[in-house]
Amino acid sequence: MQTVKRNIELRVDDSLMRVYVASPKAEGKYPGIVFYSDIYQLGGAILRLANYLAGFGYVVAAPEIFHRLEPVGSVIEPDDIGRMRGNDDARRTLISEYDADCRAMIDFLKSDNSVIADKIGTLGFCIGGHLAFRAAFEDEIKVSVCCYPTGIPSGKLGKGIADSIQRIEEIKGQMLLVFGTQDPHIPENDRQTIINALEKGKVPHKVFSCQAEHTFMRDDGYRYDAAATTAAWREIIPFFEQMFAG
């Protein structure tokens, strides 16, 4: 379906957080998705992914995750310098600040007239995959999709050590994990640690693995894999549809 795009501003801890919102053009009420970027924020590759998901009937809201450190509208280039900048921004952001942003995003979606308030999920990539994982601790999140989420076993997320894996039993919704088996940032041992923790915590989950590298869904990077990306979407879209059915 056709989509419309807009930018809104939320205030979190007296910081202006720009949120990019893509939603179906047709009037109606749709499930809402808190959509997390990787460390490069809201560049073209990430917005294309957000727009794509919105076209399947979702209100997709993507925040600038480093709004406390970067000027509004900042896009970090996905190159060596950008990687340094993005990783530094990540290290300087408190984990409690990421959590506060998540709460603000959920409250925004619940208050939006085009969103079905009891049908809210989340999806994220890389650091955003970890943020989507943490978002699942919130009662309103019915379904989470975490694409190559980094730092979950180690607690690497922001300033301090994230307690994400220790809080798995707080997850009440369903989760889909998307992994690349050739991803050095999430090696087999880490992938299995996450899966084992979900099983121990009795969290309903599904795992999709494909022969791909890290960030394989970014269409502007050298690790982009169109076939793997298509295969991932073929898992993600039905997963959301099934979880939000009824």
Can 210 be counted among the known catalytic residues? no
| End-to-end CA gap in the chain | 20
Annotated catalytic residue, options 67, 130, 205, 214: 214
Residue 147 catalytic? no
Q: Which entry of 183, 190, 210, 225 is annotated as an active-site residue?
A: 183
Say which CATH class 3-244 falls into.
alpha beta
Is 183 annotated as catalytic?
yes
Average pLDDT over residues 58-77: 98
Contacts of 39 (CB under 8 A, 6+ apart): 76, 83, 86, 87, 89, 90, 126, 127
Q: Check: CB of residue 39 under 8 Å from CB of residue 6.
A: no
| Strand-by-strand arrangement of the 205-210 sheet | 3-12, 15-24, 59-63, 30-36, 115-125, 141-147, 174-180, 205-210
Compute the average pLDDT of residues 181-202.
Answer: 97
pLDDT band at 76 (very low <50, low <70, confident <90, very high): very high
Q: At 43, is the pLDDT very low, low, confident or very high (cuts 50, 70, 90)?
A: very high
Tens of pLDDT, residue by residue over 86-133, are 999 999 999 999 999 999 999 999 999 999 999 999 999 999 999 999
Identify the active-site residue in 102, 126, 146, 147. 126
Per-residue CA distances from 199 to 28, 97, 154, 209, 229 (Å): 37, 28, 18, 17, 26
Tell me what pLDDT residue 192 has.
Answer: 98
- Model pLDDT, residue 137: 98
Predicted pLDDT at 219: 97
Q: Name the average pLDDT for the chain.
A: 97
Q: Name, in order, each residue with C-beta under 8 angstroms of 117's C-beta and a sequence gap of 6 or more.
A: 109, 110
For residues 76 and 207, give the distance between their C-alpha atoms in angstroms, rounded to a whole number: 30
Do 122 and 145 contact (CB within 8 A), yes or no? yes
Domain ranges of the chain: 3-244
pLDDT exceeding 90 applies to what percent of the chain? Answer: 100
| Residues near 98 by beta carbon (within 8 Å), at least 6 away in sequence | 65, 131, 134, 157, 158
CB 39 within 8 A of CB 76: yes
d(CA 244, CA 246): 6
Instruction: Answer whether residue 246 shows pLDDT above 90.
Output: no
The pTM (predicted TM-score) of the whole model is 0.97
Q: What is the DSSP secondary-structure string of 22-33?
A: EEESSSS-EEEE
| 31 vs 36: CA distance, rounded Å | 16
